[in-house]
Amino acid sequence: MYRVPSGNFNLFVNELDMLLRKLYILTLEYIIYGDINIDYLTNNKKKNGSTFTNLQLISTVNFTTRFQKNLATATDNIFIDIDRKNNYSICTVINGLSNHDSQLITLNTISLKPPAKQIMETRKFYKNSINYFLNKLSYEI
């Protein structure tokens, strides 16, 4: 996602909060990534009061992601469930394509495979087929 730096911050937070609450399902984990133009290297009320905190999502990027005019900031971030707080690793990837560096996050013990489905075969037995089977069986020694 992207938040325009000159845009209305409260409108962004309210719309994002409404969207995330519509999508929220207790049994799912969410990963949200984007350039939200809030510097996570500084202490500011935009960072501390964001909708991510309200939904128990933590920011994972604590290093510089953008260099511009001798200013280093962390305006790009990846948000994950607070329960994964100590169960991930993250690093910067310098791509040389823009003034933003990429981030690479590795979540430990995450399974992307759907649960295995159990297949059970059944056969219906009817009275006439049981009688037929018993008749055939009676000829065996």
Q: In what order do the strands lie in the sheet with 57-59?
A: 32-35, 76-81, 57-59
Kind and range of the H or E run holding 94: none
Confidence at residue 112, expressed as pLDDT on a 0 to 100 scale: 64
Confidence at residue 104, expressed as pLDDT on a 0 to 100 scale: 82
Q: What is the DSSP letter of 100?
A: B
Q: Which residues contact 87 (CB under 8 A, 6 or more apart)?
A: 107, 108, 109
Banded pLDDT at 50 (limits 50, 70, 90) = low
pTM to 2 decimal places: 0.64
User: What residues does each domain of the chain span?
Assistant: 9-110
pLDDT tens per residue, range 72-120: 887 888 888 887 888 888 888 887 777 788 888 888 875 666 767 778 7
Banded pLDDT at 54 (limits 50, 70, 90) = low
- In CATH, which superfamily holds the domain spanning 9-110? Endonuclease/exonuclease/phosphatase (3.60.10.10)
Mean pLDDT of the chain: 80
